[in-house]
Structure 1
Amino acid sequence: MNTLQSNPLTQSDIDNVNIKSFQPLVTPAELKTELPLTETAYQTVLHGRETIRNILDGKDKRLFVVIGPCSIHDPVAAHEYADRLKVLSEKVKDSLYIVMRVYFEKPRTTVGWKGLINDPDMNDSFNIEKGLRLGRKLLLELNEKGLPCATEALDPNSPQYYQDLISWSAIGARTTESQTHREMSSGLSSPVGFKNGTDGGLTVATNAMQSVKH
C-alpha cells in the first residue's frame, strides 16, 4: 500500500484547492473579554427580550417595530440614527415598542458588499476580525443608550460573538429554508423571526418555525 510519504503527490493537490489563504480569527471568548457586557447593556437586552416575548404572546398590546438602516456601514452614522430613534421611541412608547435594526451581514442574490463584518473597510480587504470587533463595540454602545437591537443571523458563526447583545434575531428570505439556519435558530437566546420566502409565500416561514421548535 502506497502512503502519502511515498507518493510524489501531496495533500495540497486535493485539499483546500479553492482556498487562497487562511487568517485565524479572535475567538468569541476573547472578544467578549475585550469588550465585556456591561450591567446597563445586560438590562437593556433582558428587558428587550422579555418585552418582545410579551408582545408576541399577546400579553403586551403594543405593536413591535424593528426599524433602521438596511445594513450598518458607518458606526458614527449609526449612533446619530440611534440618538434620534431613542427620542422617537420615548414619544411613542405607549403604543409602539421600537427596536433598532442593526444588520451587519447582507445576503446577496449574486455578488456585492456583504456587510460590515465581512468587509468593514468596503474595499475587498475582508478584515473580518475588525468587522466583528466593530460590530460588538457598536452593539454595546447602543445597548448602553438603552436602545434594544435586532440583527439578521446569517453567518452561523457570528452569533457567538454578539448574540448576548441582541434582543431580536431575524432569519432572512434567502435562508429561511436553510436547514443550517433552522438549526442555528433553535439555539439562539433571543426571540427569532422568520421572513417569507423569496417568492413572497409564507409556507416556507411557517415550516421553518415548526422545524425550529424541535
Structure 2
Amino acid sequence: MTARTENLNVVGFDHMPSPAEIKERVPLTERAAEAVLAGRRSLMDILNRKDPRVFVIVGPCSIHDPEAGLDYARRLKRLADDVRESIQVVMRVYFEKPRTSTGWKGFINDPRMDDSFHIEEGMERGRRFLRDVAELGLPAATEALDPIAPQYYGDLISWTAIGARTAESQTHREMASGLSTPVGFKNGTDGALDAAINGILSASHPHSFLGLNEKGEAAIIRTGGNAYSHLVLRGGGGRPNYDTVSIALAEQALTKAKLPCNVVVDCSHANSWKKPELQPLVMRDVVHQIRDGNRSVVGLMVESFLEAGNQPIPADLSKLRYGCSVTDACVDWATTEEALRGAHKVLREALSSRRTDCR
C-alpha cells in the first residue's frame, strides 16, 4: 500500500558507502590528526582570550580541482608559518555550495562537474583532499550544509561556518551543537543579527535529533552543546557591517544575549559589495580597528585562489583556467600574500595590548 503514497517523486536509491567505509578507504593519519587538533586548540584559545592572535579563514570560494587546491595549500602553509606570530591561518575548504535556485552544488555533490552527481566519489575525494591539507600541517575550515556530511569528514575540520541562509535552520543549529569544532554563525542576508545570535544560543545547548551514525545506520544523536559558537559579520541588506559602529552594535547584541563578545568579519559578500578586489581594504580597516583598541574581533575571512576572479564551468573541462574559482570571484595569490603580510606587520605590535574584555 505504501507504494501508492510515498516516494512518488523519487526516481532511485543509489548505494552510498557509510562514513566508516569512507574513513577506512581514507584513514586519518597521526600527522593529519595533530594538525586538526592543533588548529582547534589555537582557535579555542583565541575565542577564550588565552591567545591574543587573530585567526584568518582564507582560501577558494569552493574546491573544484584538488590539484590546484593543494598547490594553493602548499603556498598558504609557507605563508602561515611566516605570520604565525600574530595570525592563526586556517585554509577555507568548501565542498558544498548553497544555490539560490540551480547551479553547481559543489565538489561532493558533483565532483565531475557534469551533473552526474557521483556523491560517493565526491565524498571520498573530498575527504582525501582534507587529509592531504592536514598532512601539510594546515588546519581546514568548511561550511556545514548537509547534516549528514560531518560524519564523513568532520574529524578533519578545525572550524565550521553556518551560512547566512541556514543560520535560522533548526537542523543546522542542532548539528552545530554536536560539532567538534568552533562554529561561526553568519548574520542573515538582510544584515540582521537575530538569526545568528539565536543560532549561537541554540547551539550552545544540548539537543537530540535524527541522524546517521558512523555505520550509516539511523540514530538518535544526542549532543552536549557547543561552547565555541560565535558571530560572523558578512554584511547584508545592501550594506557592509564591518565598520566601527556596526561592530559596536554587534558587541551590544552579544552582551545583551549574555554571549562572549567574539566577532569574525567576513571580508567578502556584502562587506566588499561582492567585489573581491575590495577584500584587502576591508581587512586593512578591521586590522586598524584592532590596532586602535578593538577587543571583540577575533577573526577574518577572505576568498582567495591562485588566480583572480572567477569563471563559468565550460562543457569542455579541459578549458578550465587553472587555479581560478568556478563560484564566487576571489583575489589572487599575490594579493592574498600582500594582505596577510600587511596585517601581520600591524598586528604584531598591537596584540600584546589586547585584553580579555570587549573594548
Give the TM-score normalised by structure 2: 0.56
The 3-state SS of whatever aligns with 2:69 is: helix
Amino acid at match of 1:64: F
Distance in 2, Cα, partners of 1:200 & 1:208: 15
Q: Please show how residues 42-121 of structure 1 align to structure 2 within 5 Å.
A: 42-121=33-112
For each residue in 1:40-91, what CA deviation from the matched residue of structure 2 results, as whole angstroms up to 9, or x when unmatched?
0010011110000001111111111000000100100100100111111111
Please state how far the C-alpha of 1:109 moved relative to its aligned partner.
1.2
2:169 pairs with 178, 184, 208, which one? 178
Please state how far the C-alpha of 1:15 moved relative to its aligned partner.
1.3
Distance in 1, Cα, partners of 2:126 & 2:165: 22
Please state how far the C-alpha of 1:22 moved relative to its aligned partner.
1.1
Amino acid at match of 1:83: R
Q: How many pairs align? A: 205
Please state how far the C-alpha of 1:13 moved relative to its aligned partner.
2.8
Structure 2 unmatched runs, 5+: 206-359
2:180 pairs with 186, 189, 195, which one? 189
2:127 pairs with 133, 136, 141, which one? 136
Amino acid at match of 2:35: T
CA RMSD of superposed structures (Å): 0.8
Please state how far the C-alpha of 1:34 moved relative to its aligned partner.
1.3
For each residue in 1:22-43, what CA deviation from the matched residue of structure 2 results, as whole angstroms up to 9, or x when unmatched?
1110000111111111000010
1:41 pairs with 26, 32, 36, which one? 32
Distance in 2, Cα, partners of 1:185 & 1:126: 26
Q: Give % identity.
A: 60
1:166 corresponds in structure 2 to 157
The 3-state SS of whatever aligns with 1:46 is: helix
Structure 1 unmatched runs, 5+: 5-10
1:7 corresponds in structure 2 to none
2:23 corresponds in structure 1 to 32
For each residue in 1:75-125, what CA deviation from the matched residue of structure 2 results, as whole angstroms up to 9, or x when unmatched?
001001001111111111111110000000001111111000001111000
1:199 pairs with 190, 204, 207, which one? 190
Please state how far the C-alpha of 1:12 moved relative to its aligned partner.
2.7
The 3-state SS of whatever aligns with 1:78 is: helix
Distance in 2, Cα, partners of 1:77 & 1:201: 36
